[in-house]
Each structure stands twice: as C-alpha cells, then as structure tokens.
Amino acid sequence: MTQKLAIHGGTKLRTKPFPSRGLIGVEEKNAVMKLFDDAIASGNAFGYNGAPEKQYEQDFAAYMGGGFADAVNSGTNALFCALGALELDAFSEIIVPPITDPGGVMPVIYVGCVPVVADADPRSYNLCAETIAPLINERTRAIVVAHIAGDAVEMEPIMALAKKHSLYVVEDCAQSHGTSYHGQRTGTIGHIAAFSTMFGKHHCTGGQGGIVYTRDEKLHWQGRRFADRGKPFGIENAAGNVRAAINCNLSDLGAVIGSVQVKKLPGITAGRQRVGEAIKAAFADNPAIQVGWQPANSVSSYWFLRMTVNPKALPCSKTDFCAALAAEGIPVNPSYRHIPCEAPWFKNKNTFGKSGFPWNCADYKGPKDPQYSIVNAIKAAENNFNIAVHENYTDQDTQDIIDAINKVLAGI
C-alpha cells in the first residue's frame, strides 16, 4: 500500500537529523597546538612560507601523484593566481563556465582579461567542447573548466580543442577533490588547476584557503611569483620584485590543518563515493529520476549529489517533488542556479567604477557588452536538483534517501 506523504500529513520517513561531517578532529587540534607551542617556546610568531606551508604543499602534491603546489588564502585567489601564472596580455579572452561560484569568473577581470561564457553540456552543470568551440577566436587565450558537484568535465575533447588552438586549460577543482577521469585526477589534466580548501570542501585548511597545482614547473614559478607580490621565486640574481601582484599567501596555521586534512582525503572521497554510487545504482533504470549524467570512465567525488528529473516521466513538477522530499526529512536543494553572468555585476559591467572595464576599453576589440547564450545552463538548473551528502553518512542514511525518493515517486 502506498504510504501517505509527510507533506500531505503522513508520517515523516526520516525523523532524526542526518549526521554532521566531523571534518575537524583532535588530529587537527594537536597539530595547531604544536604550532602554538613551538611559537611560544621560540618567541617567534608563526607566519607564512614556513616549514608547515612547504610540508602541506609537498603533501598535496604527493596526493596528486607529483607536481607542484602553492598554498594560497582562498579558492577564488587560487583561480586568480592560476590565471596570473599564464601571464596573458590584457584584454585576452578567457572562456569560462556557465554554472559556477562567482569566484570562478571574477578573477578573469582582475587579471585584466575578458570572461566569455560558454553554455553547459545539456547533460550536466558543466561546460563541454561543443559549447566552447564556437566561442574561440583570435582573442581567445585560455579556457577555465569547473568540475561542478564533483562530476568531471568531459576533458578529452576540450584538451584536443585547446591543443588545436594553442590555448591554456585551467581546471577549477574547488568541488572535485579526488574526482577521477579516465584514470587521472581532476587537476592533473589541464595545464594548471585551482582548488578551494574552505571549510565546506572535501578537505580544508580552516575557514578559507586554496591551492594552485600544476605539473608544469615554469607555470608553478610564475604562479608563485604572482601569489606573493612578484617576489623572484625561481629566479637567480633578481634586483627586486619582478612583476606587479598582490599577497595571496596561506598562513602556516592553515597549512598545518591542511597537512592533517590531506591525509584524510582518500577516506573522505571514498566515503562520499560509497554514498553517491549506491544512490546512482538504485535509480539507474528509473524513468523519472536518476543521479545526473557523468562522463564514461569517471568517478565523481560527490561534493553534492546532482539528481536529474525527466519532466515527462515525473508525476508532478520538480518544485513539488523537492518539497515533498524535504518534508520526508531529506536535505534537498531544489535549484542550483549559480550562473554568474545573470548577476548584476556581470550584466551591468560593475567592475572598476563606471569604466565598464574590460569591455568598454578602446584596446579591447571584442563586443562592448557581455555576450552569452546559456539556454542549456538554465535548462540544467530547471531539470536538476541537489541532495546534500558527505562521507559520514551511514548505509542506513543512504538507504533513507533512496526510500524517501521512492516513497515520493509512488505517492505524489
């Protein structure tokens, strides 16, 4: 017999709260206390670019299978420094994702370049080669890809497109720590990558933080200089700071937390994948609702669970379905319309005073108003919703999500 839905006065399926993550533990506390104890004993305050930061960078690079890491003070600044490492001419065009955090687009402006928005892959929140290709012209110098929700972008066609046109590819991995694509970790596929390590991500360095990662040593040194006021890292006999830049350093306090956290990261991603893959399997053949499409030979790290609805098969609107699911006690976000080009700052060119920079500048030869077509991105926001998941969910927590979805599908 069909159960009466909680939204219609029935018994709520999930009556107790879902577990908290418990991301920070005694290990992080002990590492921080040792840093304080060492500072007190020596009489010298801890700062940045010290042994703890170098250790964290080594630990993260080792997790990524080698390469170079530079710890910075936010995910936004990680992207800013990754772009700065490219040393592009002002007014270069950089293709950016349609659905991302505002900090996934704004840094383009602050390296003096022009963001050009690509539409989404019709199957996901992410962009794809088919939506990027029509935007490439003589002004294009780089592509930023963001692996939203921990779901990998289809990278092979994008890398082929970039090679054909001699473009850099910057991976925004803020939401994809531990995601794999064709056996490679996201962040190792493009030329350089940016990670966020704020408190809500897969692993953290405290309240805020980020990492610039690359396997290209030249880009690494260029990025380090850009992240610390142009200091001549990697250059011998420099007379002083070698380029204009700002201070984006992570502190040693954040770094000691990061070193503990990155050791937990394999377990964190494995736990999220256990939950996400179980729910994906449960609805693999469901005509109305499924875990969102992911590229073949990829494994999501599930920063959240993206669920795709088929409006023709769903017996109600997505809004009503999500309301009924929330009433059953499931942590659901009915809309993820994080589309920066819809925001006033982008549409109205609110960047540097009333200058309209960079679009209005005479030296920029492209359109004087931001151009974008985001039909697929809007459709993705309309046809997907998100469920919060994390590594501390038990098998019973996972089963409750599955049971609640099935209950709503049967009773709506």
pLDDT tens, position by position, 288-304: 999 999 999 999 999 99
Closest C-alpha to 100, from 224, 235, 194, 215: 194
Burial class for 98, CB neighbours closer than 10 Å (0-12, 13-18, 19+): buried
| pLDDT tens by residue, 318-343 | 999 999 999 999 999 999 999 999 99
Taking CA atoms, 57 is separated from 33, 52, 156, 311, in Å, by 20, 9, 27, 46
Which positions ≥6 away from 353 have C-beta within 8 Å?
A: none
Taking CA atoms, 216 is separated from 2, 187, 222, in Å, by 58, 12, 10
Q: Provide the whole-model pTM.
A: 0.97
Helix (H, G, I), strand (E, B) or coil at 400: helix
Write out the DSSP string of 324-350: HHHHTT--EES-----GGGSHHHHTT-
Task: Return the structure tokens found at 208.
Answer: 């805020």
Task: Return the structure tokens found at 372.
Answer: 């974008």
For residues 381 and 176, give the distance between their C-alpha atoms in angstroms, rounded to a whole number.
19
For residues 48 and 190, give the distance between their C-alpha atoms in angstroms, rounded to a whole number.
28
What is the percent of the chain with per-residue pLDDT over 90, rounded to a whole number? 98
pLDDT confidence of 2, banded at 50, 70, 90? confident
Q: Is 2 in contact with 315 (CB distance < 8 Å)?
A: no
Mean pLDDT taken over the chain: 97
CB atoms near residue 352 (< 10 Å): 11
